[in-house]
Each structure stands twice: as structure tokens, then as C-alpha cells.
């Protein structure tokens, strides 16, 4: 092992500039163009990781996204990124990284003792060993022992952005084939996006040394008006209709990463191929590397990190690497499993045909290999400081497979190649299986003893695959799950084909008959931050604010989210809890007057000649019989007969209704109206105008409400304005719509003005109401008031099974001749049962019942339920508890005492009428 010297012929680094970085608490120097992996290799750091399960010492195997060993934690603190591959990290000045899965360091790892237990820890070890008495007893220590990187605890300080792009042709991969395809498409006048995962274009030309054509094309493409070139861009997902998703790493100020959502008319996959390791004993030792990766480190990064090199191969491609190292002055021996007749004639390199590397000698670094004939016989040892291997190539078909395309096993290249596309996609270059001249002879596993690693990332050996075979897990999907083959951070990029081919040999099946597991996004891991993009924190689910929000805030409101709106829960005085405030506000509504912001109340105008007919089909009750200027309460059902919304609707004119929905139902119900009109009742002359946010609605309620309106100043005749009627006029010199309807049980005026006039109106009402001690009231008090009155709150007092009859609202149905949504469902046997859950009052004589408490059928716990509490409060007016609940056959059980149970506590209550206060409703008409 040499210290490694940067060679002058390196094509990929700027040797004139130094970048300082720290790895495992030691300082190093690299250069622009380095990856963390190349910089570490150049500094002679060969042992830089411990394996996942056995904590074996590991070095760098590969040079790209397929790296299974060199997993590091990048950065520190809240911006740290766990589990990145050192081969994918572009070096920058001040970079800090450390190894994962070892403590205190990869060269002295306390858990390396696990290796001693390795013979006991084969595939399925966890499942079989930690069964008794309970897996959960062992789970904690095992999870701690097996962890890789550490996720930061604090919120990610970085910003991530999303961007959409459409193009004629998306070329994935900026190697020779991708560059040529992009150029061809651009010259044909097409819009082209070229995405490359590396920070440099060129692909294999960067390490094969054929730079002229690639450099010419790169310059031409960057200058071409039709082409957008994206480097550092990982196209990780291929979805339907040529939708592809990529993450671009950004540098400098601003966002850290950009998520691209591409829609391409045509996709060209020029994703290249990944070299496969050979499977022999101790093939995972530091200093054993893929031949092409070593060639990369030599040619692109100028690192000659071995002088005495053994190349072990079953195909021709490794000869190129061997030649490169000979040219660089190294001593190279090729061990080729193929017979002499198949060996290419390269004078400069020493070749031993018909032989295999049986094992690597050395623990923390390879310092020799044991060599023998394939079929046994004498073995001998050869000293070396670097072992290169090539078991052939696997075309990078991940995206093609994700697109739905099928694969087939190609005998000539011993690899899975694209077969049939189902989307507008084509593969080019090595990704298409263009691996000519390999002349490969399959060698899936070298016979003999010792740990022969197939999956380096998850420590899966050839023996584990044998174990899976013994236990009949021979399907490729079972093999994967039983052994964890291909389930590591690298997703088996170097191991899947070797693994399934070994299983094929064990079960006398060709690799093509074993098949591959399903390729799924992402191609390589993607940060959650990039996927979430800007939609985090307050933007994750934005809440809507009332038009007079600032007025409420200035009046001490405590806000909560109700149905997507930030609304006042209560307005506590200093020293008051919000619960106490709600009691005070509710009491005031019964004695004087209160002001409630009801702006989120759903408001949908239904306009047209057939508006009445339409609403007759929507509501349980009649709409077309309503007089202009009057209002009526209505229930809406779905076709299953279930109550989905309720509210008061107003006839504004012959052909114009104003439908009020619940606050949370406003958007949903408007959409439902539209669906029925566009899809079912296409002949009706009706238009739907959702107007909820155009209006601010302030409700004045209480015995003194009309006095407040009078004092505010209005041209509406308040003496001729009965309950459930509607007027248009001026209030506080603002153009207003006023509805007399009530959810409090007190005389109420719902005043709606243009949303922009909300603060003006609320200010005018406040001034006019001051002598009458008008008080702002929040949602909590409103809930107390409506529960006292037994007013239904859809979604609280009803659930996904509640029919109109269950809440005592079957009356309007009998009086109605025509059909409406859900009506037929009310005639089903199930709807007519007498023991359905029905809404009743529940009178507790000892404290407030918990919402959700179960009504016990026979006092046993656990035991059958006879219903549950839906709404429950302390009533300040009645100075006692009030509650509503859905109780089995409840209406026929008025007067009965029932036992209730909730969270370990027993309660009792009497079943009573739903109306606790002002049963005759006289106060509404005051």
C-alpha cells in the first residue's frame, strides 16, 4: 500500500487548489474535483468503515452510487446528513464527515468482536434466535447495535425547493451515450434536458481516458439553446406517463436541494452499467476494489494506490484497468478464470489463465491472495497491495424497470438487459446492454471455504444464500427477505445479480429463470427534506384567518384551529382560564348579549330557474316551497342515507338561494353540488357560487341582541323581522345581509358584510353594544349553548352511520313526496330497525360526563356497548352538567338510568330529552 500520489494525468481534479476537510477527527487536504472517497484514498486512508452486521473492516469498493461500504455521516448538528456514500460526496473546503457503525473509529472498533460470532449469525439469525420469550426484549439492544448513521434531532435548517419542467426529450445520464443522444435530439430541434448524477459530465470517458469526443459534445450541449444541462442531479423515480422525479444538489446560497418533476414526451436512459464483484473468500477486505473503480481513481483522480496489483476477472473489461495500471508503473498480474484460448493478447500484462483467487490474505488491508485452479488442486500465495475484480457488468436498468419495462437475461453479457418498453422510453449505450467484447464466462461463486461476500452493505455471504436454499426460500423475493440481500443503502446495485445467480446454481435454474426483484424508487436515497420541499412548518397545512383576526387578537382571543380556520376559542380576562372564560361568555349570552365571529360559516349561492328543484333533491326537507325572504333548516345526506351536513338555507329570490353549510363543509358541499349538476342532473338550469370567503359574518346573540343592532344603526325594520327570516339593508352604514337564525337558542342576528368591511362592522357593533355590556364569545361557549339546546353538531353528535331518524329528524321526510339524495337508503331494513343508536340527552347528577364514555349494556367491563357520549359540558345557566349521546333505542328509554365507562372510570346518567333549556323555544322568538 503506497501513500498514494496524485498523478499529473488526472483528468478530474484541479491540483493547484487545496481543499481542507476533516474525517474521523483528522485533517486532510484534497482538491476541487475530488469526491470524499477519492480524497481519502489519495491521503492513504484505506480502512474507513465497518460492516453493518459483523463489523468487519471495510474500504472503498466502487466509485459511484453503487458503493456499499463507504457509508459516512456528513456534517454535524442539525444539518447533518446520515448514511451518504463517500463516493457521492463532492469535496468542499471545510467538509466534516465521519464513519458510521463503528466506535470509536473504524481501525479500532469495539464491536469488531462480533466477527468472532459470525458463524452463529447467518441469515435469519435474528428471527430464529430472539423469539423467546419475546422479540421486544431484544429489539432495543439490537437496534442500537446495528444502527448506521444518526438522524439529526433538531429541525433541518436548510431550505428545499420544487420545480416542474416539461421537455421533448429527457436524457438521463451524461456519459458518451447520453451526450450523443442529447446532441442528436437538440439538433433535431427538440427541447432537451440532460440530467447527470455526477458533478461532471462524461461518464465512462472520465476513467477510460477517451475524453476528446465527450468534451466536444459537452461544450456544444452547454452552448445549445435547446438544451438544459443538470449535473449533480439524481433522477430517482420513473412514474406513469413519463413523469420522472430528480433531486439536484445545489451549491452556494439559497436552497440546499431542488426536487425536479419532469414530464417528458420521450425519455432516453443512458444510465450506463455497474461492474459486479466476484464472490471469493474475504473479498470484502480493504484494498479489494472493482476494476473499473480503481481505473477511475487512477485516471480521473490520479491516485495510484497500489504498486503490486492482482486483477481477478472472468471477462475482458478488466484488461483495460490492468493496462492503465501497467502504464502508470504498477506491477500487475491478471488471474483469469477463462482458459488461455479466450484470453486477449496483451503483451504488457502477466496473465494466469484458468485460475481463480481463492481468498484474500490480510485483515485490515489486502496484502496477498491465495490462487488456485478452479477445480481444486494446489494453491499458492501471491503478495500484492491491491486486488481488482471484475465479475462482469449489470446494465443500470433501474429506471427502465420502474417505468414498467420488462427485462431479459442476456447470455452473451450474462446480465439483465431491457426487453420491452411500455412507455415512450429507450435505453442507449451500456444501459441497453451494449457491452460488446466482454467475452464473459460466468463465475458466480469461487468454490472453497471462508466468508464470501455477495452483499457487502448487508453482510450477506454465499453461505447465507445456501441457507436460504436449504430453508426453501428460493424465490428471488423470498431470498431477498430471508437474507436481506439487496436491502441495504445501496439497494444491492453490486450484489443482486450475483445473489440470484448463486441461488440459480443451487436450484439448477438459469439466472433469467430466477429473475430480479422489483426495482422501486428511489434509485439512490433521497432526503426527506427534498421530498417535503417548502411545504413544512406553517406551510404544511396553512390555516385560514378570519377577516377581523386582528380585532379578535386585540381583544384577548385564544385561537384554535376549527375546520381549517384559526378561530377564537374564548376571550379570557386576565387571571381567567379559557374554560372559565367560556363559562362566563355562555352565561352572558343567556342574560345579555354576545358577539360571535361566524365568518367561516359556509355560504353557497344556488342560482337559476331550477334552483328550487335542485335543492329539493339535495335536502331531506322541501326547498322549493320556501317563501322569498324566509329561511329553513335542512339536513343533507349521502346516497347511503348518512347525515353529511346541515344548515339554514334562505330563499333570496325566486331563482336564488343562499345555502349555509357547516364551516368545515363549505368546500366539500360546493364540490358535491357541482358533481351532481355536472354528472347526474345535467339538464337543470342551476349555477353554484361558493361565496364563503367573500363575506364576513358577525353574529349578535342574546336577549339584548336586537337592541345592539338598533344602536348600531340600521334601515331594517327590526320590529318586523321574525326568527328564520332574512333581510338585506344597511347595518352601521355598511351594505349587509342579515339572517335571523340561531345556534345558541337566543334571539340572534347573523350580519354579513363584505369581508373587507369586517373590522369596521365589528368595531361598530362593539361601540353600540358597550352600554349593553356586549361581550365577544368564542367557539367553546357556543358549543355549551347549543348542547344546552340539544342542537345537532354534525360530525360530533353524528358519525358515519347516523341517519336522520336517529337524530329525530325523520319528520320532514314523511311530508315530502319527491326523491332526494339518500332517501331510498332510508327504506332499507337496517334503517328501519328500532334498536339503532339514537341521539338523546344524558343527565348526569355527579359531574360532567367524559365525551366518548361508553354506555354499558349490562354493566360489565369489557362488555357490549349501548352507545356513547357525543357532547358534554358544564352549563353555567343550569349550573350542572349537560350531555348528548347516541344511545341504542335511546328515545324509547327516556327516564332510564344507565351506567357509563371511560378510561377506567365509571359514571351514571339518566336518559333524557335532548333539549335541556327552553324546551318551547320561546327565547328564539323574542
Partner 1 sequence: MLLLTCPHCGPRDETEFSCGGESHIARPSLEATDDAWADYVFFRTNPMGVTFERWRHAYGCGCWFNVARDVVNHRILATYAMTDPKPATSETAISNGLQQSAELAR
* Site residues (vs partner 1, CB under 8 A): 164, 239-243, 261, 263, 265-266, 404, 422-424, 639-640, 671, 674-675, 678-680, 682, 819, 823-825, 828-829
Closest approach, Cβ 600 to partner 1, in A, equals: 21
Output the 3-class SS for 235-302: EEEEEHHHEEEEEEECCCCCCCEEEEEEEEEEEEECCCEEECCCCCECCCCCCEEEHHHHHHHHHCCC
Q: How many CB atoms lie within 10 A of CB 516?
A: 21
Closest approach, Cβ 242 to partner 1, in A, equals: 7
Q: Which is nearer to partner 1, 513 or 675 (CB)?
A: 675
Owner of C-alpha cell 475530488: 34
Q: Which is nearer to partner 1, 189 or 862 (CB)?
A: 189
With beta carbons less than 8 A apart as the criterion, state whether 646 and 830 touch: no
Closest approach, Cβ 883 to partner 1, in A, equals: 33
Q: Which is nearer to partner 1, 189 or 904 (CB)?
A: 189
Measured between alpha carbons, how far is 79 from 136 in angstroms, rounded to an integer? 32
Measured between alpha carbons, how far is 267 from 428 in angstroms, rounded to an integer? 11
Q: Which is nearer to partner 1, 311 or 642 (CB)?
A: 642
Closest approach, Cβ 626 to partner 1, in A, equals: 22
Measured between alpha carbons, how far is 388 from 386 in angstroms, rounded to an integer? 7
> Residue 336, Cα to own-chain centre: how many angstroms?
47
Q: Which helix (H) or strand (E) holds 327?
A: helix 318-327
Q: Which is nearer to partner 1, 759 or 825 (CB)?
A: 825
Q: Which is nearer to partner 1, 166 or 894 (CB)?
A: 166
Closest approach, Cβ 693 to partner 1, in A, equals: 16
Closest approach, Cβ 404 to partner 1, in A, equals: 7
Q: Which is nearer to partner 1, 153 or 829 (CB)?
A: 829
Closest approach, Cβ 690 to partner 1, in A, equals: 10
Closest approach, Cβ 168 to partner 1, in A, equals: 9
Measured between alpha carbons, how far is 165 from 167 in angstroms, rounded to an integer? 7
* Helix, strand or coil, per DSSP, at residue 431: helix
Q: Which is nearer to partner 1, 694 or 730 (CB)?
A: 694
Helix extents (H) in 489-542: 496-506, 511-514, 528-532
Closest approach, Cβ 593 to partner 1, in A, equals: 41
Burial degree of 348 (CB within 10 A; 0-12, 13-18, 19+): exposed
> Residue 176, Cα to own-chain centre: how many angstroms?
35
Closest approach, Cβ 145 to partner 1, in A, equals: 40
496, three cell numbers: 443482486
Q: Which is nearer to partner 1, 153 or 682 (CB)?
A: 682
Owner of C-alpha cell 441461488: 503
329, three cell numbers: 508503473
Q: Which residues contact 268 (CB under 8 A, 6 or more apart)?
A: 169, 170, 171, 172, 178, 181, 182, 185, 425, 426, 427, 428
Closest approach, Cβ 243 to partner 1, in A, equals: 4
Q: Which is nearer to partner 1, 770 or 824 (CB)?
A: 824
Distances (CA, A) of 347 to 343, 482, 705: 11, 47, 105
Q: Which is nearer to partner 1, 107 or 825 (CB)?
A: 825
Closest approach, Cβ 616 to partner 1, in A, equals: 13
Closest approach, Cβ 563 to partner 1, in A, equals: 19
Give CA angle at 650 (646, 652), nearest 5°. Answer: 150
Closest approach, Cβ 678 to partner 1, in A, equals: 4
Phi, then psi, of 731 in degrees rounded to 5? -130, 125
SS3 content of the chain, % helix, strand, coil (to 5): 30, 30, 40
Distances (CA, A) of 480 to 54, 93, 137, 442, 487: 19, 40, 26, 22, 7
* Gyration radius of the chain's alpha carbons: 38
Give CA angle at 443 (439, 445), nearest 5°. Answer: 165
Phi, then psi, of 393 in degrees rounded to 5? -130, 145
Closest approach, Cβ 674 to partner 1, in A, equals: 6
Closest approach, Cβ 265 to partner 1, in A, equals: 6
Q: Which is nearer to partner 1, 108 or 164 (CB)?
A: 164
Q: Which is nearer to partner 1, 5 or 678 (CB)?
A: 678
Q: Which residues contact 40 (CB under 8 A, 6 or more apart)?
A: 23, 28, 48, 60, 86
Distances (CA, A) of 764 to 521, 601, 700, 708: 59, 21, 12, 10
Q: Which is nearer to partner 1, 156 or 674 (CB)?
A: 674
With beta carbons less than 8 A apart as the criterion, state whether 26 and 13 touch: no
Q: Which is nearer to partner 1, 15 or 424 (CB)?
A: 424
Q: How many CB atoms lie within 10 A of CB 684?
A: 16
With beta carbons less than 8 A apart as the criterion, state whether 898 and 849 touch: no
Measured between alpha carbons, how far is 104 from 101 in angstroms, rounded to an integer? 9
Q: Which is nearer to partner 1, 246 or 330 (CB)?
A: 246
Q: Which is nearer to partner 1, 627 or 815 (CB)?
A: 815
Closest approach, Cβ 194 to partner 1, in A, equals: 20
Measured between alpha carbons, how far is 750 from 745 in angstroms, rounded to an integer? 13
Counting every residue, how long is the chain? 926
Report the interhelical angle of 476-483 vs 496-506 (nearest 10°). 110
Q: Which is nearer to partner 1, 242 or 588 (CB)?
A: 242
Buried residues in 127-139 as b, exposed as e (16+ CB within 10 A): eeebeeeeeeeee
Amino acid at each position: 500500500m503506497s501513500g498514494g500520489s496524485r498523478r499529473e494525468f488526472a483528468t478530474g481534479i484541479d491540483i493547484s487548489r487545496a481543499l481542507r476537510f476533516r474525517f474521523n477527527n483528522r485533517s486532510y487536504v484534497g482538491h476541487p474535483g475530488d469526491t470524499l472517497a477519492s480524497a481519502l484514498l489519495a491521503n492513504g486512508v484505506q480502512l474507513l468503515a465497518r460492516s453493518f452486521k459483523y463489523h468487519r473492516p471495510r474500504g472503498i469498493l466502487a466509485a459511484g452510487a453503487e458503493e456499499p461500504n463507504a457509508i459516512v455521516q456528513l456534517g454535524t448538528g442539525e444539518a447533518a446528513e446520515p448514511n451518504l456514500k463517500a463516493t457521492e460526496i463532492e469535496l468542499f473546503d471545510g467538509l466534516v464527515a465521519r464513519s458510521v457503525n463503528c466506535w470509536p473509529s473504524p481501525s479500532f472498533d469495539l464491536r469488531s468482536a462480533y466477527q468472532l460470532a459470525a458463524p452463529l449469525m447467518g441469515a435469519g439469525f435474528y428471527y430464529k434466535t430472539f423469539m423467546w420469550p419475546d422479540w421486544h426484549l431484544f429489539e432495543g439492544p439490537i437496534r442500537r447495535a446495528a444502527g448506521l448513521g444518526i438522524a439529526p434531532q433538531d429541525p433541518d435548517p436548510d431550505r428545499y425547493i420544487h420545480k416542474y419542467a416539461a421537455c421533448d426529450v429527457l436524457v438521463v445520464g451524461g456519459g458518451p451515450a447520453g451526450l450523443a443522444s442529447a446532441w442528436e435530439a437538440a439538433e433535431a430541434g427538440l427541447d432537451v434536458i440532460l440530467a447527470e448524477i455526477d458533478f461532471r459530465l462524461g461518464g465512462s470517458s472520465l476513467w477510460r481516458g477517451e475524453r476528446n469526443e465527450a468534451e466536444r459534445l459537452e461544450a456544444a450541449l452547454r452552448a445549445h439553446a435547446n438544451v438544459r444541462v443538470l449535473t449533480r442531479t439524481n433522477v430517482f423515480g420513473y412514474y406513469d406517463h413519463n413523469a420522472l422525479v430528480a433531486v439536484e444538489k445545489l451549491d452556494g446560497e439559497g436552497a440546499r436541494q431542488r426536487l425536479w418533476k419532469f414530464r417528458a414526451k420521450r425519455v432516453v436512459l443512458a444510465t450506463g452499467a455497474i461492474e459486479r464483484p466476484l464472490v471469493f473468500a474475504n473479498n470484502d477486505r480493504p484494498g479489494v476494489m472493482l476494476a473499473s473503480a480503481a481505473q477511475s481513481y487512477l485516471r480521473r483522480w490520479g491516485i495510484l494506490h497500489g504498486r503490486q496489483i492482482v486483477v481477478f476477472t472472468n471477462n475482458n473489461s478488466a484488461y483495460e484497468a490492468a493496462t492503465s495500471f501497467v502504464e502508470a508503473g504498477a506491477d500487475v498480474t491478471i488471474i483469469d478464470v477463462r482458459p488461455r484460448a479466450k484470453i486477449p493478447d496483451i503483451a504488457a500484462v502477466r496473465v494466469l489463465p484458468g485460475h481463480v483467487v481463492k481468498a484474500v490474505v490480510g485483515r485490515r488491508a489486502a496484502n496477498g491472495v491465495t490462487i488456485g485452479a478452479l477445480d481444486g488442486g494446489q494453491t499458492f500465495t501471491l503478495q500484492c497491495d491491491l486486488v481488482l475484480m471484475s465479475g462482469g457488468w449489470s446494465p443500470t436498468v433501474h429506471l427502465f424497470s420502474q417505468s414498467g419495462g420488462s427485462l431479459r437475461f442476456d447470455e452473451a453479457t450474462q446480465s439483465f438487459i431491457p426487453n420491452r418498453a411500455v412507455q415512450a422510453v429507450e435505453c442507449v449505450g451500456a444501459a441497453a446492454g451494449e457491452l460488446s467484447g466482454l467475452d464473459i464466462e460466468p463465475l458466480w461463486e469461487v468454490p472453497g471455504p471462508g466468508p464470501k461476500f455477495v452483499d457487502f452493505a448487508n453482510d450477506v455471504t454465499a453461505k447465507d444464500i445456501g441457507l436460504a436454499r436449504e430453508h426453501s426460500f428460493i424465490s428471488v423475493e423470498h431470498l431477498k427477505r430471508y437474507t436481506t440481500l439487496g436491502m441495504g443503502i445501496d439497494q444491492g446495485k453490486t450484489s443482486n445479480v450475483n445473489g440470484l445467480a448463486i441461488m440459480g446454481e443451487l436450484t439448477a435454474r438459469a439466472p433469467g429463470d430466477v429473475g430480479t426483484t422489483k426495482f422501486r424508487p428511489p434509485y439512490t436515497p433521497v432526503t426527506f427534506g427534498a421530498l417535503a420541499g417548502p411545504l413544512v412548518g406553517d406551510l404544511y397545512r396553512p390555516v385560514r384567518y378570519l377577516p377581523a383576526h386582528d380585532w379578535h387578537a386585540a381583544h384577548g382571543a385564544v385561537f384554535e384551529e376549527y375546520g381549517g380556520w384559526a378561530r377564537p376559542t374564548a376571550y379570557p380576562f386576565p387571571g381567567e382560564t379559557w374554560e372559565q372564560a367560556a363559562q362566563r361568555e355562555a352565561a352572558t349570552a343567556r342574560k345579555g348579549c354576545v358577539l360571535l365571529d361566524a365568518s367561516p360559516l359556509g355560504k353557497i349561492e344556488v342560482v337559476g330557474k331550477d334552483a328550487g328543484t335542485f335543492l329539493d333533491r339535495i335536502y331531506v326537507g322541501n326547498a322549493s316551497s320556501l317563501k322569498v325572504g324566509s329561511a329553513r333548516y335542512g339536513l343533507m345526506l349521502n346516497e347511503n342515507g348518512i347525515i353529511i351536513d346541515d344548515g339554514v338555507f334562505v330563499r333570496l329570490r325566486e331563482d336564488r338561494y343562499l345555502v349555509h353549510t357547516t364551516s368545515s363543509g363549505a368546500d366539500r358541499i360546493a364540490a358535491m353540488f357541482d358533481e351532481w349538476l355536472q354528472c347526474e342532473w345535467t339538464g337543470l338550469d342551476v349555477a353554484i357560487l361558493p361565496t364563503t370567503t367573500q363575506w364576513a359574518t358577525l353574529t349578535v346573540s342574546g336577549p339584548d341582541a336586537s337592541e345592539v343592532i338598533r344602536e348600531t344603526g340600521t334601515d331594517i325594520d327590526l320590529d318586523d323581522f321574525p326568527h328564520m327570516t332574512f333581510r338585506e339593508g344597511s347595518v352601521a352604514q355598511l351594505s349587509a345581509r342579515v339572517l335571523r337564525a340561531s345556534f345558541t337558542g337566543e334571539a340572534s342576528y347573523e350580519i354579513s358584510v363584505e369581508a373587507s368591511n369586517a373590522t369596521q362592522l365589528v368595531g361598530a357593533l362593539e361601540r353600540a353594544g358597550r352600554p349593553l355590556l356586549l361581550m365577544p364569545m368564542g367557539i367553546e361557549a357556543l358549543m355549551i349553548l347549543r348542547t344546552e339546546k340539544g342542537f345537532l353538531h354534525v360530525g360530533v353528535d353524528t358519525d358515519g352511520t347516523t341517519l336522520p331518524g336517529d337524530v329525530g329528524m325523520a319528520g320532514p321526510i314523511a311530508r315530502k313526496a319527491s326523491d332526494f339524495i339518500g332517501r331510498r337508503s332510508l327504506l332499507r331494513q337496517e334503517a328501519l330497525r328500532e334498536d339503532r343508536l339514537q341521539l338523546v340527552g344524558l343527565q348526569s347528577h355527579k359531574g360532567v360526563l367524559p365525551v366518548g364514555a361508553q354506555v354499558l349494556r349490562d354493566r360489565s367491563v369489557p362488555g357490549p356497548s349501548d352507545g356513547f357520549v357525543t357532547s358534554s359540558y358544564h352549563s353555567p345557566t343550569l349550573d350542572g352538567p349537560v350531555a348528548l349521546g347516541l344511545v341504542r333505542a335511546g328515545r324509547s328509554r327516556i327516564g332510564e338510568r344507565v351506567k357509563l365507562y371511560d378510561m377506567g372510570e365509571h359514571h351514571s346518567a339518566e336518559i333524557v330529552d335532548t333539549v335541556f333549556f327552553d324546551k318551547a323555544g320561546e327565547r328564539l322568538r323574542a
